[in-house]
Amino acid sequence: MKVTVLSPQKELYNGDAIRVKVPGKAGRFEVLKNHAPLVSSLEEGVVLVDSGSSKEEFQIKAGFIEVLRNEVSILIQQ
């Protein structure tokens, strides 16, 4: 699935990933391939993007995630 992580200033991640872990407001959760369409707000914590070969972590203050047809968009405020 395709993942983009955006901050207002720049694109922090853009590429394929097998797993994304985010601090959802209703609890930390993981998004895998073929996840149902979802919109959630995020709270303070760590966003983890796992592309299989490498893992990237982003510390966030707030944010949103949208999942639609294997495209994950994460908007964050650091």
Partner 1 sequence: MANLKEVRERIKSVSSTQQITKAMKMVSAAKLRQAQNAIVQMRPYDKKLNQILQNVLQAIKGDANIAMAKERPVVTHPMLVVITSNRGLCGAFNTNIIKEGVATIEEKFASHYEAGRLHIMCIGKKGADFFKKRYPKAQMHLDHVDLFSNLEYESVYEIADLLLEKYAALELDSIHVAYGRFKNAAMQFAEVHQFAPIAEPEVSESADQGARADYVFEPDKQELLEDLIPMIMKTQFYRFCLDTHASEHGARMTAMDKATENAEELKKELRITYNKARQEAITKELSEIVGGAAALGG
Token pair 């949103």 is found at: 64
Closest CB 57 distance from partner 1, rounded Å: 18
Contacting positions for partner 1 (CB under 8 A) = 6-11, 24-26, 36-41, 62, 64, 66, 68-69, 73, 75, 77-78
Token pair 């853009």 is found at: 14
Closest CB 41 distance from partner 1, rounded Å: 4
Q: Which is nearer to partner 1, 57 or 78 (CB)?
A: 78
CA 36 to each of CA 10, 29, 41, 77: distance values in angstroms, whole numbers, following the listed order: 27, 13, 16, 24
